[in-house]
Structure 1
Amino acid sequence: MKNNAKKEPQEGGEGKHRLHNVRFYTMKPTAIVSMAYSKTSKCLALSRHVPVIQLWNLRHTPYLDQVIHLPPDSPAESLAWAGNRLFSVDLTGKLIEWDLTNLKPRHEHSPTGNALWSLDVNPAETEIAVGSEEGHINLLSIENDEITYKSLFTKQSGRVLCIKFDKTGTKLVTGTEGFVHIWNVLKGTTLHTMTLSDNNVIVWSLQVLSDNTIIAGDSAGFVTVWNAENATQIDSTRVLDKNVFALAVNETEDRLVCSGMQPPLIRLFNKTQIKREESTSERWIKFLQRDAHKHYVKSLVVIRDKIFSGGLDGILTITSSHKMRGKMSQHAPFLKGCVASLAITEKLLLLRYPRSLHLWRLGSAASQDKDKITGWGQPLGTSEELLLEQPPQKLLQLNVKGPNITQASAISPDANWICYSTSDELRIRRLQRNPLQVERLVGDLPKELQPASHIIFTKKKRLALLHPQNNHLSWFDLKEDSVIFKYSVDLSDHCKNTISHLVVSSGGDYLVAATSDKIISVWNLHEKQYKHLLNLPKHQAGTTALSMHEDHPRVVVAYANGQIVEYDLVNRKFTCETKRYLIPDTRQYCINGITLDPRNPNVFLVHTETNLYVLERNDDFEPKEEPVVESKTKKLSKGNSSSVAVNTKSLSLKTQLPRQHLVHVSRLSPNELVNVSISTNNLLATLPPPFQRKKFGAS
């Protein structure tokens, strides 16, 4: 919970850096409510207790690609895919289909007017079934890119908490308090009703297999298996002490995964043939378990051989479903986009939270420790903790009005301005020091100061705002007490999808934008004159990090397959290109940021959620065996990955520094870095104590 100044070695320059280890960034976890996976787009949709839907790209290393901001106080309760179409229901009674290009509702429907708890899409992807608070089940058609009412089933008692079509789409299975119902989809009437051990037992989760087997998890901790043909119970096993919230099966339907509340273990079962005398039957036999969460698990998805799980702790956890224990990766519930901004001249750090902004002054090392740095000669990778002469100090906190969530924020390099935006409004404030006070500008503001997804202050006292509705970039001049609109740049001709990364060169000459559909566009900027310069060759993996050298017109890009490339904008060629997964850790965690050294352009600092790496350019480069570019104009040949550029160089890994949930790294001075991270213990500190299990032989 404190900021430590450390001296860290680095190749190039003087070979050493001071590192501000910021550990007072404490986020409250936002619980994961529901998950749904699209095989078509290889996208995992994930809803939380706050009104957002996160879209995780799983084509290569998983990374958070896009975030849909929902209306306030209406988080999505359940999600479902129909091909590339995403649907959600919430407790306000709305069924919404989402426009994944503009991240807005495409169609809205209120089937009953009551709270909606569950939904499912039939295998043919032509119908969607919705379960409500008062026991209503609505069937709607989703053909012809529309949502139209089709039929209303016979009302059942109690809320419909889970709902599933069978593999033929002719039957529908629902779970409620005390019962599991099988419905005729065509007639909307009940075919069978199965009772549980007690009327007060709640059915939380359902799975319907292709062999007409129904599997249900309930609040008593049991997983019960029925034959859907005659509604007979095949098996019932108590897998948890309480509340089986989530069930999932793999694609071949021979492995069952379940989890819930007490204990929050992920337990796996294998479908096994049991021979007794001359008869043979299939049973689910316990296979293994994963201790991946300390608090309850609400949702599970099995994708190939990976188990994706999430619950109260808000951490998206990925584990293996195989017997041999593989690596477990945990992705903390941080905000999309940049969460930290630096005012270098005053050593101020602005931290973005969902509904507030915190301004801190960074600590400084004692004078005797500063002197030791100049003569420090330690082996590569060594670090030493320095004593703080002045501890970090929190200066102010700005709270966001209403239930809206911040989507961007920044502080100007000279520490005179703070700007932040939600999806509904943008505010800009003048920061006064000695004494510290904040003045909000409200009068005579340009109408172009609209909500922005990216906020950039330049060294030339300019402000750039990217408006996500139309991908227009507005430029403003910052005067003593006023903001003056200068001009707007239309990026939509070359960036039609959501812009995920935006970089302006230090001199203000170049603008680089990366979109969610793998487009990276570059513009030349000169006052009101702007010209589209080029599009980088399209890569097969999504862009996860983007940066520019301070004194060189070169763009550095990191992709979801762990590859890093450097592109020269003047000579229009690749000057550096690495192999896929140069860093082994990038198979589990994507590269989230690139920090370049202004004194040595051959040094690259990259970070994932778990490590900070130092890379150095070298002359050795081995061609890859497969192409990495998807472009109609420029394609890499299978035998020679460097055909786009001559004499392309690669990078070598020099050292790594382990971190916990690292979210931001930036440069404070040529030999001083700031990294912002949070430990798992601090992240979970606000949650109730985890469930304690008695272990054999332990006191």
Structure 2
Amino acid sequence: MTNIAKKEPQGGGKHQLHNVRFYTIKPRGIVSLAYSKSSKCLALSRETPVIELWNLEHTPFLDRVIHLAPDCPVESLAWAGNRLFSADLTGKLIEWDVINLKPRYEHSPTGNALWSLDVNAAETEIAVGSEEGHINLLSIENDEITYKSLFNKQKGRVLCIKFDKTGTKLVTGTEGFVRIWNVLKGTTLHTMTLSEKDLIVWSLQFLSDNTIIAGDSAGFVTVWNAENATQIDCTRVLDKNVFALAVNEKEDRLVCSGMQPPLIRIFSKTQIRREESTSERWIKFLQRDAHKHYVKSLLVIDGQIFSGGLDGILTITSSERTQAHLSQHAPFLKGSVASLAIAEKLLLLRYPNSLHLWRLGSVVPQDEEKKKPWDQPIGASEELLLEQPPQKLLQLNVKESNFIQASAISPDANWICYSTLKELRLSRLKSNPLKVERLVEDLPEELQPASHIIFTKQGRLALLHPQSNRLSWFNLKEDRVIFQNSFDLSDHCKSTISHLVISSGGDYLVAGTSDQIISVWKLHGKQYKHLLNLPRHRAGTTALSLHEDHPRVVVAYANGQLVEYDLVNRIFTCETEEYLIPDTRHHSISGISLDPRNPDIFLVHTETNLYVLERNQHLEPKEHAVKGKTKKLSNGNRSSVGENAKGLSLKTQLPRQHLVHVSRLSANELVNVSISTNNLLAPLPPPFQRKKFAAS
């Protein structure tokens, strides 16, 4: 627990901060990456049955998640414009509806496991490689998937597959061989043999200058001329297993990585002159030590290298020498992972297949005579001794094939509610002795699976049904649940609702969607009526919050902007320029916590830092401040901006490791939940140890 000096209206004060470091989810390894240039969306598949959609238009953030059937993790991903395709080891080729997050078309080309797929440059055909050595060509024209042809069967599973830029040739990699195919006839043009027959080709690239690059299990990267199948170059870049290759858009940078060592090595295409002849070769240019465990997939997007592997951390670094910044995004669960019962100081933590209930620690009380005056500068902190350490009270588990998508504990600590993808469970929490009693009888049929679960201070329960965007309200009595009413939010929120907040008095409801709509409803009697939509912003919404005693909503966007909107006067009362905090160029703002005693204080956090911001009254020249207005706020009407709209200044920041949640326990107490990198990587095998020069 930590004391933090913080500026108060009276001129001094401090906050106590509970540092929760015992939340650790198991690493979920990254298997495949695919990028859509048209929608600026990165699709990411993991070893668990999930596809994550990351918005890269501004600062990267996890926008949407597609949950797959159990035991169906995706092996390969590809985009055709805004259409996303996946291939898995159950033999299914699936096109996904990325708006409603469900399958659009399903196809089983061979009935065998599918290892690889690729879309041609014209985005009219898709090629799929299978376990038995089959290569299927399918047409994706006219917004459909139709069978086109089956290539001659080859020996061994097709682990990687790539079209050339014209779409007339196809290259595949198997154990011991690289083959070039005629797409029209489905026959082999050339077969290139590796140095040893038991070597496995893990990765391929087919460049526009008609060269093929392959990475194999011995750590070699080999370059061939696709016209006559002659070998141009062969370089050992790793000791073992080049799992991933990527090239930039200009095709003058080659990036490779894999298993031993898990370094990202970058090569530059360079002209080599020997006597009177000139040739192009890939020359070592740069390397990045970004991972401790093996890398499975690589992409180069606008000069940035996106990589992922066994540790499950999405890592972004530069392919240029002049920029060495590295940002890491841990494998967080989408949505809130923590919920507080303020009355009893209980913390409910959500894991993929379980819930853990903890009692927070308490500080050793100090005698009034021994208390030291707090005269530390703003931002100073001190560690406090705990009289009672945090205590784990109980653990609720679900089957491994299920996934808990939302959970919450009521403020009075009497109820626990959680939802898997298929069912919702509501339990009564009783103390002395502590036990959980699940309600199973006389439950309303409206108690359906929910993506958002909210308990109010008035003893009510709100559930958002993700398929219909319908919000249902329930009254909670002693061992009884009474359905009250439901509201259809889909008229104003047609896309997936990613953020949902309800004011402490229950009179305002704010929802943010993945298509950058923020809608507000107001309670009239017992019915919510749509009040307004905030002007649509060009950047995605990353965090939402409501003031406790003021009808104002605070929004954070992916371009680092923060705005505050007055719901009564319908004007912006605070707005900032892009990237108010420099770190938000690499990590978006993922949470906003407001001070009930001082509406001019804003606590925001990214994955790496907790920041204290203050509304500008009189700017001091030494403070890091931002201007009040910006013309880039939105595409809406600028008349909605108040004349006295103010900006924010940065007061202090606290560095954290993989910060996932910050919330307020009381007026002067905060709880932050973070994941230590060491704890995150602890379940993995020991990292590959690399000998270094002059090191023992």
TM-score under structure 1 length normalisation: 0.97
CA distance in 2, matches of 1:370, 1:117: 68
Q: Is structure 2 residue 665 aligned with structure 1 residue 660?
A: no
Partner of 2:623: none
The one of 659, 667, 681 aligned to 1:670: 667
**Aligned-pair identity (%):** 81
1:434 corresponds in structure 2 to 432
Which position in structure 2 is the counterpart of 1:204?
202
Give 1:348's match in structure 2, choosing from 346, 360, 363: 346
Q: Alpha carbons of 1:588 and 1:252: their partners in 2 closer, same or farther (altered >3 Å)?
A: same
Q: Secondary structure at the match of 2:584?
A: helix
Residue in structure 1 matching 2:314, options 305, 313, 316: 316
**Which residue is equivalent to 2:63?**
65
Note closer, same or farther for the CA distance 1:36–1:622 as it changes in structure 2 (3 Å cut): same
2:627 counterpart letter in structure 1? E
**Candidates 226, 232, 235, aligned match of 2:233:** 235
Q: Partners in 2 of 1:39 and 1:598 — Cα distance? A: 43
Structure 1 position 685 matched with structure 2 position 682:
yes
Match of 1:146 in 2: 144
SS across alignment from 1:27: coil
Could you tell me which residue of structure 2 aligns to residue 43 of structure 1?
41
1:626, CA displacement in angstroms? 4.8
- Of the structure 1 ranges 330-339 and 519-528, higher mean CA displacement relative to structure 2 is found in 519-528
Q: 2:627 aligns with which of 611, 622, 630?
A: 622
- Does structure 1 retain, via aligned residues, the 8 Å contact 2:563–2:574? yes
Matches within 5 A, 1:502-521: 502-521=500-519
Q: How does 1:245-264 map to 2 (within 5 A)?
A: 245-264=243-262
* 1:84 equivalent in structure 2: 82
Q: Distance in 2 between matches of 1:153 and 1:280?
A: 38
Match of 1:6 among 2, 18, 37: 2
The corresponding residue for 1:639 is none
Cα distance in 1 for residues equivalent to 2:489 and 2:526: 14
Q: Distance in 2 between matches of 1:369 and 1:672?
A: 20
2:214–2:223 CA contact under 8 A, matched in 1: yes
User: How do residues 532-681 of structure 1 correspond to structure 2 at under 5 angstroms?
Assistant: 532-619=530-617, 622=627, 626-631=631-636, 634=637, 636=638, 644-681=641-678
Which amino acid in structure 1 is aligned with residue 674 of structure 2?
Answer: S
Check 1:173–1:536 CA distance in 2 against 1; reply closer, same or farther (3 A cut): same
- Assess, with a 3 A threshold, how the Cα gap between structure 1 residues 211 and 676 changes in structure 2: closer, same or farther: same
- Contact 2:176–2:200 at 8 Å: present in 1 too? yes
SS in structure 2 at match of 1:681: helix
The one-letter code matched in structure 1 to 2:607 is E
Q: Indicate yes or no: 2:373 matched with 1:368.
A: no
* Other structure's SS at 1:346 match: coil
Matched with 1:124 is 122
CA 283–626 in structure 1, closer or farther in 2 if over 3 Å, else same:
farther
1:397 corresponds to: 395
2:177 equivalent to 1:186: no
TM-aligned CA distance change 1:493 to 1:625, over 3 Å:
closer
Unaligned runs of 5+ in 1: 637-641
Distance 2:616 2:211 in 1: 58
Q: Would you say 1:160 and 2:158 are equivalent positions?
A: yes
- Report the AA paired with residue 29 of structure 1: P
User: Displacement of 1:26 after TM fit?
Assistant: 1.1
**5+ residue gaps, structure 2:** 620-625
Distance 1:370 1:585, change over 3 A: farther
- 1:289 is aligned, of 287, 290, 303, to 287
Could you tell me whether the CA contact under 8 Å between 2:628 and 2:645 is conserved in 1? no
Q: Distance in 2 between matches of 1:371 and 1:280?
A: 84
Alpha carbons 1:369, 1:386 under 8 Å: kept: no
Whether contact under 8 Å (1:369, 1:387) holds in the other structure is no
Q: CA distance change for structure 1 residues 398 and 329 in 2, over 3 Å: closer, same or farther?
A: same
Contact 1:214 1:227 in 2 (8 A): yes
Distance 1:374 1:523, change over 3 A: farther
Contact 2:258–2:295 (8 Å) recurs in 1: yes
Contact 2:217–2:240 under 8 Å retained in 1: yes
SS of aligned partner of 1:169: coil
Query: How far has the Cα of 1:422 moved from its partner?
Result: 1.3
Are the structure 2 counterparts of residues 545 and 317 from structure 1 closer, same or farther at C-alpha, using a change threshold of 3 Å? Answer: same
With over 3 angstroms needed to count, the CA separation of the structure-2 counterparts of 1:433 and 1:508, relative to structure 1, is same
| Equivalence for 1:381 | 379
* Alignment RMSD: 1.3
Q: 1:434 to 1:91 in 2, by over 3 A?
A: same
Q: Moved runs in structure 1, 4+ residues, more than 6 A? A: 369-374
Do the aligned partners of 1:7 and 1:373 also contact (CA within 8 Å) in 2? no
C-alpha contact (below 8 Å) 1:204/1:244 kept by paired residues: yes
8 A Cα contact 2:52 2:62, kept in partner:
yes
The CA distance in 2 between the partners of 1:685 and 1:282, in whole Å, is 44
How big is the shift at 1:473?
Answer: 0.2
Q: TM-score w.r.t. structure 2 length?
A: 0.97
Letter of the structure 1 residue corresponding to residue 615 of structure 2: R
For residues 258-277 of structure 1, the aligned pairs below 5 Å read 258-277=256-275
How many residue pairs get aligned? The number is 687
In structure 1, C-alpha distance between the alignment counterparts of 2:451 and 2:370, rounded to whole Å? 43
Q: What is the deviation of 1:327? A: 1.3
Write the distance in 2 (CA, Å) between the matches of 1:53 and 1:60: 20
Amino acid at match of 1:513: A
Give the Cα separation in 2 of the matches to 1:498 and 1:122. 30
What is the Cα deviation at residue 628 of structure 1? 2.5
State the 1:338 CA deviation.
Answer: 0.2
When structure 1 is superposed on structure 2, of 210-219 and 367-376 the one drifting more is 367-376
- Deviation, structure 1 residue 547: 0.1
Cα distance in structure 2, aligned partners of 1:614 and 1:365? 23
